[in-house]
Amino acid sequence: MSLTQIKVGGFGGQGVILTGTILGKAGAIFDKKYAAMSRSYGPEARGGACSAQILVSDEPITYPYVIQPDYLVALSQEACERYAIDLAEGGAVLYEKELVNPSAAPKTARLLGIPCTRIAEELGSRVVLNMVMLGFFAQVCPAISADAIKEAIRITVPRKTIDVNILAFDHGYQFTNAQ
């Protein structure tokens, strides 16, 4: 069975839950795979810790929660410290390079940093930092296709923001200065 486990963590307001929703839709609707997504967040509306768990598989998923993520997307230091310990052997940590020090990751982890907040600001909208990260993720993770993620973005974000979100995704996908 080809099961990929993904955990996205960060603070409320960084688009963590939206990122998980888009990945789940991309896998299930556009890549025609089995997918499950769950989320958790603190009582704070913005600024509190939150996470999304996404599983994507070619076969039915029997347990809908991430046990050992193959990929950890860490948008905050707290998320990296909290979830990196559970990373699967040889898993990857994709992290916000200017906010996160990935030293909590296991020695076998692939560490891949991108300054997604700065890139989003350069595009004129800090709120698309998660789309930059999604593009970077699509470059690294073969379980969900880049085309599927772009289509999921188009059907998920508000219509008037589609262009800037796709532009941010493309910038993340083209980023090549990973560690």
CATH code (residue 64) = 3.40.920.10
- Domain-located, residue 121: yes
Q: What percent of the chain has pLDDT over 90?
A: 88
Question: What pLDDT is attached to residue 42?
Answer: 65
Residues in Cβ contact with 98 at an 8 Å cutoff, skipping those fewer than 6 apart = 115, 117, 118
Q: Has residue 22 been placed in a domain?
A: yes
Q: What is the pLDDT of residue 177?
A: 56
The mean of the pLDDT values for the chain is 93
Tell me if 144 is assigned to some domain: yes
Does residue 179 lie within any of the structural domains?
no
Q: Does residue 146 sit within a domain?
A: yes
Model pLDDT, residue 21: 97
Range of the domain at 66: 3-174
In a domain, 128, yes or no: yes
Note whether 171 and 118 are within 8 A (CB): no
| pTM, entire model | 0.93
Domain assignment present for 31: yes
pLDDT < 70 positions in the chain:
1, 42-47, 177-179
Q: How distant, in Å, are the alpha carbons of 103, 112, 133 from that of 26?
A: 31, 22, 15
- pLDDT per residue as tens digits for the range 78-118: 999 999 999 999 999 999 999 999 999 999 999 999 999 99
In a domain, 87, yes or no: yes
pLDDT score at 81: 94
pLDDT of 178 reads 44
**Count of structural domains, the chain:** 1
